[in-house]
Amino acid sequence: MTHARPDGDGLGSIMALHRSATAASKDAQMLIPDGLPPQYTFLFPVDRPAGPGRFAALADRADAIVIVDTCAKAQLDGVAAEVTDRREKVVVIDHHQTADDMGDVQWIDTTAAASAVMVGELLAALTWPVDRQAAEALFIAAATDTGWLRFANTDARCLRAVADWVAAGARPDAIYRRIYQNERPARLKLLALVLGGLQLLADDRLAVMTVRGEDFATTGARPEETENLVNEAFRIDGVEMAAMLVENSEGVRVSLRSREIVDVSAIAQRLGGGGHVRAAGVRLAEPMDVAVDRIIRAGCEALGVAGS
Ligand SMILES: [Mn+2]
């Protein structure tokens, strides 16, 4: 099993573990504490992970409960207590800092780029078969946790693991297409509209982008298709902070990102939102033009430039 609101690393890792274990004649079942995100259903063409309602029945007849990509009770949602009640059976494989006391065996390596790298090493040590589908799942897991092998966590160990999976039949071109080149035309039309309206301020260090209500009708895009659009601004050399403002029926949803200087969580908190130092957000119950003005002032102030 992996964590609730599962990502590519958690899901790819359990898929590969399940497939290799089954090929090694083990009786294995997958489980996730909540629903399977639609964009990852393709990882499970045959067996789908069970839901939390099946946990007790599966756990009681299992010899081991392997939890991958988390060691935080809070990420196990409703099954956290049921997991720790069976701690003698629990094996954790994880690469995050947060390590609760969840089970008797906890293999935590914060230097691993992805949990999948650890899973790949474990499967090699066990000499369990890793076929093309398992290798693809591990590749997807490592690729999504490293931003397609470009984030700072990408290291030689990760690249060696990826090389093994390519040797086992994983095709980077097909996987890239599946994960990153599967958008609807409407989303690209929205991207064009957003980039067309991009404003650069504070000596071109602050980028502000907007999506107004009518832009959804014009392009046919859906509100969820604004996800990650804010990051497009960092294609521009010198942009330190980016803001994306999306209009909705309650007002404006603001996404803030910074490259390496500005603490955008401080800005978000001051306006009633929150988040991380490099990625934060806030909802403003005011008209778009007022919200844009507020964000420009906050951004210019954070960058030490007089607001326009
Ligand atoms: Mn991970």
Q: What confidence tens digit (pLDDT) does each residue in 144-160 have?
A: 999 899 988 999 999 99
Q: How far is the CA of 107 from the centre of ligand 1 (A)?
A: 14
Q: How far is the CA of 14 from the centre of ligand 1 (A)?
A: 12
The pLDDT of residue 279 is 87
The pairing of strands 241-248 and 199-201 is unpaired
Q: How far is the CA of 7 from the centre of ligand 1 (A)?
A: 8
- What would the pLDDT profile of 110-119 be if each residue is shown by its tens digit? 999 999 999 9
- Fill in the DSSP letter of residue 88: G
141 and 133 in contact (C-beta within 8 Å)? no
- What would the pLDDT profile of 11-67 be if each residue is shown by its tens digit? 999 999 999 999 999 999 999 999 999 889 999 998 899 999 999 999 999 999 999
* Type of residue numbered 235: R
The residue ranges of DSSP E strands in 119-267, in sequence order, are 199-201, 206-211, 241-248, 251-258
Q: Is the pTM of this model over 0.75?
A: yes
> CA-to-CA distance for 273 and 164, rounded, in angstroms?
43
Q: How far is the CA of 212 from the centre of ligand 1 (A)?
A: 34
Q: How far is the CA of 9 from the centre of ligand 1 (A)?
A: 5
Q: How far is the CA of 10 from the centre of ligand 1 (A)?
A: 6
The pLDDT of residue 283 is 96
Q: How far is the CA of 116 from the centre of ligand 1 (A)?
A: 7
The tokens for 3 are 């964590």
* Type of residue numbered 168: A
Q: How far is the CA of 67 from the centre of ligand 1 (A)?
A: 12
The span from the first CA to the last CA of the chain, in angstroms, equals 51
> CA-to-CA distance for 102 and 99, rounded, in angstroms?
8
Q: How far is the CA of 69 from the centre of ligand 1 (A)?
A: 5
The pairing of strands 199-201 and 105-108 is unpaired
Q: How far is the CA of 37 from the centre of ligand 1 (A)?
A: 16
> CA-to-CA distance for 268 and 305, rounded, in angstroms?
18
> CA-to-CA distance for 242 and 277, rounded, in angstroms?
13
Q: How far is the CA of 136 from the centre of ligand 1 (A)?
A: 16
Q: How far is the CA of 15 from the centre of ligand 1 (A)?
A: 14
Q: How far is the CA of 182 from the centre of ligand 1 (A)?
A: 22
> CA-to-CA distance for 41 and 127, rounded, in angstroms?
28
> CA-to-CA distance for 213 and 57, rounded, in angstroms?
48
Q: How far is the CA of 273 from the centre of ligand 1 (A)?
A: 26
Q: Is 251 left (phi over 0), alpha (psi -120 to 50) or beta?
A: left
In what order do the strands lie in the sheet containing 251-258? Answer: 199-201, 206-211, 241-248, 251-258, 279-284, 274-275
The pLDDT of residue 233 is 97
The pLDDT of residue 307 is 57
> CA-to-CA distance for 8 and 39, rounded, in angstroms?
10
Q: Which residues of the chain have pLDDT under 50?
A: none
Q: How far is the CA of 199 from the centre of ligand 1 (A)?
A: 35
Q: How far is the CA of 308 from the centre of ligand 1 (A)?
A: 41
Q: Which residue shows structure tokens 């102030």?
A: 301
Q: How far is the CA of 59 from the centre of ligand 1 (A)?
A: 23
Q: Which residues pair with 247 in a beta bridge?
A: 252
